[in-house]
A and B are shown apart, each in its own frame.
Chain A
Amino acid sequence: MIEAYGLTKLFGRRVAVDDLTFTVRPGVVTGFLGPNGAGKSTTMRMAVGLDHPTMGGVTINGVVYEDLPAPICEVGVLLEARAIHTGRTGYQHLLVAARSHGIPRRRVDEVIGLVGLDRVAGQRAGTYSLGMAQRLGLAAALLGDPGVLILDEPVNGLDPAGIRWIRDLLRALAAEGRTVFVSSHLLSEMALTAGHLVVIGRGRLIADTSVDEFVRAAAGEEVVRVRSPRAHELADLLRGQGGRVTVTGTDTFDVSGLTCAQVGDAACAAGLAVHGLGGQATSLEDAFVGLTRGAVEFAPDRPVASPGGPAGPAPPAPAPARTGQPAVPPAAPDDSAWRPPDGAGWARMPASADDVLDSHGEGQR
């Protein structure tokens, strides 16, 4: 059980986390969702005593992290950024952790096997690919066999097989009655893994709900794609009829709040030619982007249009996932605000051999 109460963190005058109160319960994977820079990492860092909250606090099983007598046996922690000395081998890294708590050596071997690092455990961590480093971090998190897990973007850098593996592992850990708190900026991933969601944007709580409920609420509204040589006039017309218009190109725009039929009828009545018209149920990612739009730290100047024509309800739609990501890396003081979009690669759900090879290729430096 993780409980945050009135959790607030200021970096100078910038509010990174703003009065967060939520509870993460055992037995279910809880997704911690938000755009980049929403304050997910900062919240997790405060939970384990790395950052000091400006106000409020977090307890783990009712105790502040610093006061736990055997912290890593209570909470397993995987932080987004690497937290491994590059000069030590994977085995030595885990041994260091084990010795601080009096955890036996055989447990080190056990977790190395568990995350599949047997073959590289004797190599220096500096030679590891991002995926291997993530596995080592996960091994360290599981070392103490903790009842609570706090994992910041654990699938980051993993190949598709690794992603599925983590997904199953997290579900299995939760099924054993553990508290599993996993952050991500991708709703599609969380929809597959988590049972409960805590959603934040700009440090504020946006939703604390079950995934099913969130998806139901999110997937409700229909978006109509319109292509017209007289897009401006048609858009003005539809606005007048209560439609909410998002311009996506010189002759294209999206309308929500109106049905396909209503848009077509209106265009016909006004004598405006329509070259394309299609309805599309809001994808999970679109809903998420819409929900957190006001709460995106670094929004691109204009929304990126989703490729492809009208389609049936087909979550997760890949491309809009990038909408929430910055167009250029901003110079942000919080390193969680920008990461290279490598994590976005697996939103495409690649399964081809090439993709797998690519993922492994990153180790060849």
Chain B
Amino acid sequence: MTTGAPPPATTPAAGLVAVPGRPPAPFHAAARVTFPRLLHCEWTKLITLRSTVWTALTTVVVTLGFGLLVAAVTVDTWEGDGGTTEPVLNTHVGLYVAQVAVGVLGVLFISGEYSTGMIRTSLVLAPRRLWMLSAKAAVLGAVTFALGLVTSLLTFLVCQEILDDVGIGASLTDPGVARAVFGAAFFVMSVALLGLGLGTLLRSTGGAIATLLGLLFVAPVVLAFLREPLPDGWMALASLTPDGAAASLMLLDAESDLLSPLAAFLDLLAWNVLALGTGALALVQRDA
């Protein structure tokens, strides 16, 4: 605002007679809360916030940018020794950064309502709280999956063009590549839903983001330190973290201490169910 104060609200003292009288307005006949309408409502909430646009842009730009960098460096230093390069995982290294943006989007989608008081409006509109949260999760999930897919496809296609210069580009039809690209999109969606679940559970933006970052970044590091003292079976723990599962989804040559793609998919699903489930439980039981 450059002009300072917003103009004062006008006072239509005479306007009050314009209140539509009883019997009620004609739109009452069709007015009722339905799940599709709640989806529409949550969609409207999501697209009317600037943070959504910024998060989407950040995700695409960061992922593509890091992908280009990796592809360029790979081509530059390529010595033609025929080793594998993991065309999806390596070019998607930017997701490691972009996941923060997506996770914060998920957290803010509900914690922003708690911090501003909007949650009271939301629950007055949709007093069946599980419906409200389900609609939120469905809309956020669909939007972030689409975002993830666009990001992943774009990054993959552009980077493979560059890698083709030295003949190591992969194609979507190569074995496992389509799975890896879709896996990246699924991971993006999972991080957003994880954020939504944590935001619902903890209500506070700061607390939920801290927890999410702890899970994404700190947990793998701590588990890596524990590799030495712990027996072999425990080493798999690191691969169960969201980032571990994401790597498993995007790897083309499976490594022995990582999950299979299917197990990684189920693992991410389990994280989402856990976060959203506990969040839903808290939402239903607590006073808003």
Q: Does B125 contact A (CB under 8 A)?
A: yes
B121, closest chain A residue (CB)? A83
CB pair B44–A96 under 8 Å, yes or no, is yes
Q: Does A265 contact B (CB under 8 A)?
A: no
Question: What are the residues of chain B within 8 A of A100 when measuring CB–CB?
Answer: 33, 37-38, 40-41, 125-126
Q: Mark A31-54, 1 if CB is under 8 A from B, else 0.
A: 000000000000001001111100
Question: What are the residues of chain B within 8 A of A70 when measuring CB–CB?
Answer: 28, 31-33
Q: Does A87 contact B (CB under 8 A)?
A: yes
Asked whether A85 and B125 contact (CB < 8 A) given A92-B44, A99-B40, A120-B7, the answer is no
From B25, B38, B50, B118, give the contact of A83 (CB < 8 A). B118
CB within 8 Å of A: which B206-257 residues: none
CB pair B16–A87 under 8 Å, yes or no, is no
Question: What are the residues of chain A within 8 A of B126 when measuring CB–CB?
Answer: 100
From A52, A73, A82, A117, give the contact of B287 (CB < 8 A). A52
- How far apart are A123's CB and chain B's nearest CB, in angstroms? 6
A126, closest chain B residue (CB)? B116
CB within 8 Å of B: which A108-126 residues: 110, 113-120, 123
Q: Does A327 contact B (CB under 8 A)?
A: no
CB pair B12–A116 under 8 Å, yes or no, is yes
In angstroms, Cα B128 to Cα A359, docked, is 38
In angstroms, Cα B4 to Cα A361, docked, is 11
* Total chain A interface residues with beta-carbon distance under 8 A: 74
CB pair B22–A178 under 8 Å, yes or no, is yes
Question: What are the residues of chain A within 8 A of B21 when measuring CB–CB?
Answer: 176
CB pair B12–A85 under 8 Å, yes or no, is no
Q: Mark A153-188, 1 if CB is under 8 A from B, else 0.
A: 000000101101100110011001110000000000
CB pair A118–B41 under 8 Å, yes or no, is no
Q: Does A202 contact B (CB under 8 A)?
A: no
Q: Mark A115-159, 1 if CB is under 8 A from B, else 0.
A: 111111001000111011001000010101101000000000001
From B11, B25, B34, give the contact of A162 (CB < 8 A). B11
Q: Does B127 contact A (CB under 8 A)?
A: yes
Question: What are the residues of chain B within 8 A of A104 when measuring CB–CB?
Answer: 27
From A68, A110, A127, A161, give the contact of B127 (CB < 8 A). A68
Q: Does A348 contact B (CB under 8 A)?
A: no
Q: Mark B112-136, 1 if CB is under 8 A from A, else 0.
A: 1100111111011111100000000
From B6, B12, B120, B287, give the contact of A165 (CB < 8 A). B12
Q: Does A347 contact B (CB under 8 A)?
A: no
Q: Does A65 contact B (CB under 8 A)?
A: yes
Size bracket of the B interface? 35 or more
Q: Mark B1-43, 1 if CB is under 8 A from A, else 0.
A: 1001111111111011111111011011011111001101100
- How far apart are A57's CB and chain B's nearest CB, in angstroms? 14
Highest count of chain A CB atoms <10 Å: which of B31, B34, B116, B119: B31
CB within 8 Å of A: which B183-200 residues: none
Question: What are the residues of chain A within 8 A of B10 when measuring CB–CB?
Answer: 116, 118-119
Q: Mark A212-234, 1 if CB is under 8 A from B, else 0.
A: 00000000000000000000000
Q: Mark B156-176, 1 if CB is under 8 A from A, else 0.
A: 000000000000000000000
Question: What are the residues of chain A within 8 A of B125 when measuring CB–CB?
Answer: 71-72, 96-97, 100-101
Q: Does A295 contact B (CB under 8 A)?
A: no
- How far apart are B115's CB and chain A's nearest CB, in angstroms? 9
Q: Does B49 contact A (CB under 8 A)?
A: yes
Question: What are the residues of chain A within 8 A of B119 when measuring CB–CB?
Answer: 83
Q: Does A191 contact B (CB under 8 A)?
A: no
Q: Does B77 contact A (CB under 8 A)?
A: no
- How far apart are B22's CB and chain A's nearest CB, in angstroms? 5
Q: Does B262 contact A (CB under 8 A)?
A: no
Q: Does A66 contact B (CB under 8 A)?
A: yes
In angstroms, Cα B27 to Cα A72, docked, is 12
Q: Does A107 contact B (CB under 8 A)?
A: yes
CB pair A127–B1 under 8 Å, yes or no, is yes
CB within 8 Å of A: which B246-288 residues: 285, 287-288
Question: What are the residues of chain A within 8 A of B116 when measuring CB–CB?
Answer: 82, 84-87
CB pair A87–B49 under 8 Å, yes or no, is yes
CB pair A364–B287 under 8 Å, yes or no, is no
Q: Does A363 contact B (CB under 8 A)?
A: yes
CB pair A116–B15 under 8 Å, yes or no, is yes
- How far apart are B264's CB and chain A's nearest CB, in angstroms? 35
Q: Does A360 contact B (CB under 8 A)?
A: yes
- How far apart are A29's CB and chain B's nearest CB, in angstroms? 13
Q: Does B51 contact A (CB under 8 A)?
A: yes
Q: Does A69 contact B (CB under 8 A)?
A: yes
Q: Does A284 contact B (CB under 8 A)?
A: no
Asked whether A69 and B13 contact (CB < 8 A) given A145-B25, A147-B24, A173-B19, the answer is no
In angstroms, Cα B113 to Cα A84, docked, is 8
Q: Does A239 contact B (CB under 8 A)?
A: no
CB pair A168–B16 under 8 Å, yes or no, is yes
A120, closest chain B residue (CB)? B6
In angstroms, Cα B8 to Cα A360, docked, is 6
Q: Mark A317-329, 1 if CB is under 8 A from B, else 0.
A: 0000000000000
- How far apart are A90's CB and chain B's nearest CB, in angstroms? 10
Asked whether A132 and B31 contact (CB < 8 A) given A82-B117, A84-B118, A96-B45, the answer is no
- 7 further A-B contacts with Cβ under 8 Å, apart from A115-B12, A361-B5, are A49-B127, A83-B119, A83-B121, A88-B48, A95-B48, A104-B27, A172-B19
Chain B interface (Cβ < 8 Å from any Cβ of A): 1, 4-13, 15-22, 24-25, 27-28, 30-34, 37-38, 40-41, 44-45, 48-51, 112-113, 116-121, 123-128, 285, 287-288
9 example contacts (A-B, Cβ-Cβ < 8 A) are as follows: A66-B128, A72-B125, A87-B116, A88-B45, A95-B48, A168-B13, A176-B19, A176-B22, A178-B22
